Structure 1
Amino acid sequence: MAGGRTVPVLTVCLLILLLWYVGAVFLNWQTEGDRLARMSDGPIPFGQHLVATWNAQRPVLPAPHQIAAEIWKTTATVSPLSRRSLFYHAWVTLSSTLLGFVIGTALGILLSIGIVHSKTLDKSLMPWVITSQTIPILAIAPMVIVVLGNLQITGIFPKAIISTYLSFFPVTVGMVKGLRSPDAMHLDLMRTYSASRTQILAKLRLPASLPFLFTSMKVAVAASLVGAIVGELPTGAVAGLGARLLAGSYYGQTVIIWAALVMASVMAGLLVGLVGLAERIVLKRQGARP
């Protein structure tokens, strides 16, 4: 099965790289043409112009090899503890991501348990949970940072709160669906055994909700990373992937921006993969089929 997926994945990756290089040519063609024209009195050879679009110092769209070179320079050639290291900035963002993800997951589970067991919470709280996600995170993040800053709460916690805001929602919705997934026949059987609500929750509802929980957590951990990065933007942070995005924007260095984005995507993939690994281990111990 793994071998059968390798060729399609590689094909798609190669196609993306090809389109990326083509896009770099079109987007950088005008600026590089103007630069070469200022440096030369005669006509510019097509090959020279083409190569220039892939090696521009301030490209509109950097070529993939330029992004790879920037990632190598900021990871392999500097100390991981240096502020010039992309690993250092990734760790700053990751710490906020994980804290927000843990808080958001715990909050989502608690809210879902309350919603499933209380009609009042189901009718009153669930609509607010859904409505909360209609507010743009870019509007909420500055307010959270300012309010917590006035309370002398700084560091990773304000960013973790923003991550929590994005990550609790998928967990809440997924767990509500999962806790309600057992068949009515199974619920009736538990009641015939005089099982309490707590016993039904622990022995039936929670085991049945595990597949829904882990699926929601995969979405939540990626959303938590987005929240951590967004939380770094309104603060003018000096550390974190959000800070690298700001630095690249201030100095017009799109290569720095893309390198930070690639690192963020790699982190998201690894985090989702770790959640998937935990899912397989837990469900296997629960006796689920592979």
Structure 2
Amino acid sequence: MTKLWHTAGPVLSILLVLALLWYGAAIALNAAWAKDKASRIDKTLSFSELVADTMSQEKPLLPAPHQVVKEIYETTVLKKITSKRSLVWHSWITLSATLLGFAFGTVLGVLLAVGIVYSRAMDMSVMPWVITSQTIPILAVAPMIIVVLNAVGVSGLLPKAFISMYLSFFPVVVGMVKGLRAPDQMQLDQMRTWSAPKATSFWKLRLPSSMPYLFASLKIGIAASLVGAIVGELPTGAVAGLGARLLAGSYYGQTIQIWSALICAAVLAASLVALIGMIERITLRRMGMVQ
């Protein structure tokens, strides 16, 4: 029990502090509307009445935590998974594009990293462009990608996946380049002493050495891929996905809907990162890198 508290205690304490700050901010931001309503009927609100009003507004500036939790409960547990009002259904749509884009980004990132490490020409020419690509705002790139792909008949999941790939391949490239270059010169010289071909050096030395770096970059990449999938849903007027929920909520001033989609996206990202972490522990343990 003590061990469990040492693990979960700090996290729960931070969540409690954040919840209290959230409630305080909700009262402060929503108080103006509550006072305005009361002034129209010449009523003076007591502090308890003011707090109660700020906690129950239909379209608050900042919804209280319990309002967001209630919305999430109603749109997950009380809705059929196949319902277009279900957050589970919208999350699955976004998750599909996220995973596909992440797969594309990982493959592209690993291939570019191998080329950069083994080819000085690619190191000098491709790596600067890889870095430069991330200076372009994704909100500017996303509509262009979607328009171009739609012009050639590609629509649906793939445009969002390409946007996710655009964000997720960069950390994989950087992490893998660092990882493939992790072996020191003595280890590389030892492989040359054994007349090991480059393929053997790659599979037996460079690739195993790069695993911790790869998984660290994959955790960043999967979160970036989710952001890309959500951003890809915004300029298309999509009717499905967490991005579509955010867009619909902003159109109609449904702040509770917006916050529920945001929290759902955060939970989804945390779950994906945790899954990558679990795979990392299993892989490194089998490779003998961790106990």
- One-letter identity of the residue aligned with 1:26: A
Partner of 1:118: 119
- Structure-2 residue corresponding to 1:194: 195
TM (normalized to structure 2)?
Answer: 0.98
- The superposition leaves residues 35-69 of structure 1 with CA deviations (integer Å, 9 ceiling, x where unpaired) of 2332x333222211111111111100000000001
Q: Distance in 2 between matches of 1:68 and 1:218?
A: 27
Shift in Å at residue 140 of structure 1?
Answer: 0.1
Task: Give the ranges of 4+ consecutive aligned residues of structure 1 lying more than 3 Å apart after TM superposition.
Answer: none
Question: Given residue 229 of structure 1, which amino acid in structure 2 is its aligned partner?
Answer: I
Deviation at 1:193, TM superposition (A): 1.0
1:193-212 equivalence runs, <5 A:
193-212=194-213
User: How far is 1:4 from its partner?
Assistant: 1.3
**Structure 1 unmatched ranges of 5 or more:** none
Q: After superposition, where does 1:88-237 map in structure 2 within 5 Å?
A: 88-237=89-238
8 Å contact from structure 1 (residues 163, 224) kept in 2: yes
Give, in whole Å, the separation in 2 of the partners of 1:2 and 1:168: 36
Stretches of structure 2 lacking an aligned partner (at least 5 in a row): none
Distance, in Å, in 1 between the alignment partners of 2:38 and 2:172 is 54
User: 1:240 corresponds to which letter in structure 2?
Assistant: G
Contact 1:58 1:252 in 2 (8 A): yes
Give the equivalent residue in structure 2 for 1:9: 11
Specify the alignment match of 1:22 in structure 2: 24
Secondary structure at 1:14's aligned position in 2?
helix
Code of the residue aligned with 1:277 in structure 2: it is M
Query: How many residues in Structure 1 have an aligned counterpart in Structure 2?
Result: 289
* Alignment root-mean-square deviation, CA: 0.9
1-side partners of 2:64 and 2:204: how far apart? 54
Change over 3 Å in CA distance of 1:35–1:42 after alignment to 2: closer
Match of residue 248 from structure 2:
247
Partner-residue secondary structure (3-state), 2:84:
coil
Shift of 1:158: 0.2
Tell me if the contact between 2:38 and 2:44 (Cα under 8 Å) persists in the aligned partners. Answer: no
Contact residue 71 and residue 259 of structure 1 kept, 8 A? yes
Change (3 A) 1:150 1:80: same
Q: Provide the rounded CA distance (Å) in 2 between the counterparts of 1:26 and 1:189.
A: 66
Structure 2 counterpart of 1:4, one-letter code: H
Instruction: Kindly indicate whether the alpha-carbon contact (under 8 Å) linking 1:116 and 1:122 is maintained by their aligned counterparts in 2.
Output: yes
Question: Which whole-Å CA distance do the structure 1 matches of 2:290 and 2:12 have between them?
Answer: 29
Distance across 2 between alignment mates of 1:7 and 1:104 = 36
1:210-236 residue CA offsets vs partner (Å, 9 max, x unmatched): 000000000000000000000000000
Aligned counterpart, 2:39: 37
**Alpha-carbon separation, structure 2, partners of 1:181 and 1:42:** 70
Moved more, 244-253 or 29-38: 29-38
* Native 8 Å contact 1:37 1:44 kept in 2: no
What is the CA–CA distance in structure 2 between the aligned matches of 1:58 and 1:33, rounded to whole Å?
A: 15
User: What does 1:51-90 correspond to in 2, within 5 Å?
Assistant: 51-90=52-91
Paired residue secondary structure (1:230)? helix
Q: Deviations over 1:77-118 (max 9, x none)?
A: 110011010000000000000000001001000000000000
